Structure 1
Amino acid sequence: MRFGAFFAPFHNDRTSPTFALERDLDLIRWLDQMDFDEAWIGEHHSGAYECIASPEVFIATAAERTRHIRFGTGVSSLSYHQPLILADRIAQLDHQTRGRLIFGVGPGQLIADAYMMGVDPQRLRERMGESLEVLVRLLRGETVTAKTHWFTLQEARMHILPYQAELEIAVASAISPSGARLAGQYGAAMLSVAASSPQGFKALADHWGICEQKAEEYGQRVNRDSWRVVAPFHIAETREQARRDLEYGLMDMFNYFHKFGGELFPQVKDLDEAIEVWCTGGLGAFGVGLVGTPDDLVAHIQKLQEQSGGFGAFLSLAHNAAGYEATKKSYELLARYVMPHFQHCNDNRTPSLEWAASNADRFMAEYMGGIQKAIDSHEAEQREKQAKGAKAS
C-alpha cells in the first residue's frame, strides 16, 4: 500500500495566506523525507480556507523542494477550464516534475465557485464529462474537433505531449456514482475523496463495482492498485495526547464547515463534543475522523480495506485541527508504525530477532569460545617467545 496526503488545504482566515502556502510546502518537503508516496493539491476559488487556486503553480514549486514524492492535482476542476489550455498546462507540469505528476480531475466541489463563474451547478458533472472526453484524446496526441455549449475545439492538438508516455489520470469519486462511471469508461484511476463519510463508506464497494462494469463496457481495464481513498485522522503516542492536540483548531474547523454548509453541519459547544461528532457522524464529505494512536489508525485503514475490497493507496485528508509540530508528529508516527504494517517491510525483522534469540546461548558460547581461543593463542605465542629468549641467553 502507498501512502500520501490530500491538501485541500484548510487554513483559517486569520492566517496570512503567504504563511499558509509556505507551511504546506514545508510539510510536503517533510512528507518526502518521511518516504510518503504522494501529495495531492486542490483547486478552490472561494470560502477563504481552501486557499490554493492553482494546483499546477503550487506543484511546480513543491517539486523543486522534493526528491521522490509524486504530485496529483487534487483535483483540477474540469468544468471551469478550456480543455486545450488545461491539457497544455498539465503537460508542461509533467515535464517540470520529470514525470512525477498524476492528473486528478473532478467537476468542481464548491458551489460558490460555480456561482461566481455563472456555471449551473447542476451541469458541473455534464461539463466534466464533456471536458474529460477531449482531454483524454488530446493527451494521447490526437487532433480534436469538438463543440459543446461551453467550449469549442477546432483541429486542436497539443504541440508538446506529457513527459510520461502514459500520464495517469485519476477521477474524483464522492457520493454519487458519476466519478466511478467516468473512471471505468476511460480506464482511469479512482480517487475516493469521501471514503470515510457515512455515505461514502457505504458506497465504496458499489463504486468499484460500477467502475469495473463501465470498464468492461468500454473495453478498458482498471486496477485496484491505482484506487486511492482519502480519510482524515490525527494520531499521537496516546489517545489522550491526540485529543489535546486538537485543542489547537478543531473547533475552528467546525465553525468553517457550519458557515460554509449551513444546517448540514452541526454547531458544537466544546472540544469533546466536536471530537465525538467528528469521529461518529463526521463532517459530510470531509469524512469521519480518527483520533487516536498508530494502532487505532491501522484498525481504521483495515476497516476501509474490508469495506472496499482493497485499494492501492491511503491518503490523509490534511487539516489544521492540530498545530504544526503535532501534525508533523502525526505523520511521523504513520511513517514509523502504520506504513510498515501495510507495506510488510518489517516482516523478516521479528522472525530474524526471534531466531537469533532462540540461538543466543549457542551463539554466545561460540563467541566467547572465539575470544578465549584468541587469548590462548596470544598467551602461547608469548610463552614460546619467552622460551626462545631463555635458550638464547
Structure 2
Amino acid sequence: MTTEGKLRSGIFLAPFHPVDEDPTLAIRRDLELVEWLDKQGYEEAWIGEHHSAGYEIIASPELFIAAAAERTERIKLGTGVVSLPYHNPLMAANRIIQLDHQTRGRVMFGVGPGLLPSDAFMLGIEVAKQRDRMVEALEVILRLFKGETVSAETEWFKLQNARLQLRPFSTPHPEVAVASSVTPSGGKLAGRHGLGMLCVAATNTAGYDALGINWDVAQKTAAENGRVMDPARLRLVGPMHLAETREEARAQVRYGFDKWRHYFGSINPMGLDTQEGKDPLDAMIESGQAVVGTPEDAIAQLERLQQKIPGFGAFLMLAHNWANFENTKRSYELFARHVKPKFHRANEAREASLKWATENSGEFIGAAMNAALQTIAKHQAEEEAKAKAKGTQAAD
C-alpha cells in the first residue's frame, strides 16, 4: 500500500533506558518493538547514536538497523542521527551505502552535529565546532553518494581521491534528513541541499514556536539555491502514550515517567516544560509537549501540528519507555488502529457507505420485507397448487 499523500507515522528511538535494568534485555526489547511496529503498519523507525550518560545505550544505529532489517519486512529504518563530527565522512558514507544494499532500499540517513556535549568532550571536540564539522562532513558525503571522487582536507579529516566501491541501491541514493530543533541551522542546510528535516523537539514549547520559522528558513534557502522544499520530507517528533481512557494512560506512564524526566532534565533542563507548583506530567500535557491520553487526544495533537506546518510528511513518536512494555505496545497498537486511519482517510468510503445505508434503511428494509412476503406468498401458492393437483389425481 502506498503512503503517497498520507501522513506517515513511526518512532524516534533514542533509546531511553533507566540504569536499573539489564541493558542486553533493553536492546533486545528495542528490536522487538521495531518488529511490532512493522506488523502494525508503521512506516518509519529512526535510531539514535549516543556514547555517554548511561540512558541512551545504542552507540551504532547502523548495527541496530542491520539487525532490525532482518526481522522486519516493510518499515523503513533511519539513523536518528549519525553524529557526523565523530566519523570520517568516507567511513560513514560506506556504512550507509552497505545498509542501503542490505535493506534493499529501506535505510534512511539522518545526520546531526551530536546531541550530548559529554560525547564531544570524550572525543576532544569543541562543542562550538560541531555544527561546522557536520556541514563539512555532509557536503563530502553527498558528493560521494553521487559517485564523485573526492579530495578534501579540513582540520579534522583528510581524503585523497576517495570514492565509494558500491553505487547506491536506492535511486539516486538513500534519503538524507538533517536534525532540526530550535536553531535555524538545520533548516538552512536542508534548504541548501534539498534534504529532509527531523524536527526532534516539535512539540516542546520552544521547538513548536520555532517550527514555522525554521521551515520558512528552509524554504527561503531552497529557493535561493533553485530548489523547492517538499513538506512530505518534514518529520515532527513528540512524546505520546495512549490508552482507552486518559485515566488509564496517566496511571500507566507513572511506571517510568519520573525516571525519564530526571534523566532528560539532567542532560537538558531547558528541554522540559515545567510550571511552578504543578505536577510535571500535567505541565507537559497542558503545554502540548506530550500527549498522555486517548486516540482522540493524539488526533487533536496532529491536527494542531498540521495547522502549524500544513502537509508535513510524518509524525514520529518519541520512544520514551514511560509505560511497561505491554502497555507501550498497546499504545502503538491504538495509534495504528484509530489514529492512522484518520490521517490516511482509510475509512471515508466505509463511512459514506454506512451513512448511505443508514439514511436509506427504511427503503431497503421495506424492499427486503416485500421480497420476503412475495417469497412466502409464492411458496404458499405453489403448495396450494400441489395440493390441488394431488386432489385431482385422487379423484381420477
State which of 64, 87, 92 in structure 2 corresponds to 1:86: 92
From the superposition, tell whether residues 263 and 371 of structure 1 become closer, same or farther in structure 2 (CA, over 3 Å): closer
TM-score by length of 1: 0.93
Shift of the alpha carbon at 1:392? 4.6
Corresponding residue number in structure 2 for 1:371: 372
In 1: Cα distance, 2:243 partner to 2:189 partner: 38
Q: Say whether the 8 Å CA contact 1:13–1:48 is kept in structure 2.
A: yes
Give the aligned residue type for 1:274. P
Shift of the alpha carbon at 1:264? 7.7
In 2: Cα distance, 1:331 partner to 1:121 partner: 36
Shift of the alpha carbon at 1:199? 1.4
Which of 25-34 and 201-210 deviates more?
25-34
Please list the CA deviations of residues 79-118 of structure 1 after superposition, one character each: whole Å capped at 9, or x if unmatched: 1111111111101111111111111111111111111111
Task: Report the 3-state secondary structure (helix = DSSP H, G, I; strand = E; otherwise coil) of the residue aligned with 1:74.
Answer: strand
In 1: Cα distance, 2:287 partner to 2:232 partner: 29
Corresponding residue number in structure 2 for 1:285: none
In 2: Cα distance, 1:356 partner to 1:226 partner: 39
Corresponding residue number in structure 2 for 1:289: 290
Give the aligned residue type for 2:118. A
1:169 aligns with 2:170: no
Corresponding residue number in structure 2 for 1:330: 331
Q: Say whether the 8 Å CA contact 1:258–1:267 is kept in structure 2.
A: no
Shift of the alpha carbon at 1:258? 3.7
1:223 aligns with 2:233: no
Please list the CA deviations of residues 282-311 of structure 1 after superposition, one character each: whole Å capped at 9, or x if unmatched: 9xxxxx222222222222222222223441
In 2: Cα distance, 1:60 partner to 1:66 partner: 10
Corresponding residue number in structure 2 for 1:149: 155
Corresponding residue number in structure 1 for 2:355: 354
Please list the CA deviations of residues 24-82 of structure 1 after superposition, one character each: whole Å capped at 9, or x if unmatched: 11111111121111111111111111111111111111111112111111111111111
From the superposition, tell whether residues 162 and 150 of structure 1 become closer, same or farther in structure 2 (CA, over 3 Å): same
Note the 1:239-318 alignment, pairs <5 A.
Answer: 239-261=246-268, 273-280=279-286, 288-318=289-319
Give the aligned residue type for 1:142. E
Q: Say whether the 8 Å CA contact 2:11–2:45 is kept in structure 1.
A: yes
Please list the CA deviations of residues 5-40 of structure 1 after superposition, one character each: whole Å capped at 9, or x if unmatched: 110010111111111111111111111121111111
Q: Say whether the 8 Å CA contact 2:204–2:273 is kept in structure 1.
A: no
TM-score by length of 2: 0.92
Shift of the alpha carbon at 1:159? 1.0
Q: Say whether the 8 Å CA contact 2:256–2:323 is kept in structure 1.
A: yes
Q: CA RMSD in A?
A: 2.2
In 2: Cα distance, 1:345 partner to 1:165 partner: 29
Please list the CA deviations of residues 137-181 of structure 1 after superposition, one character each: whole Å capped at 9, or x if unmatched: 111111111111111111111110221012211111011111111
In 1: Cα distance, 2:131 partner to 2:374 partner: 80
Shift of the alpha carbon at 1:383? 4.0
Give the aligned residue type for 2:309. S
1:207 aligns with 2:214: yes
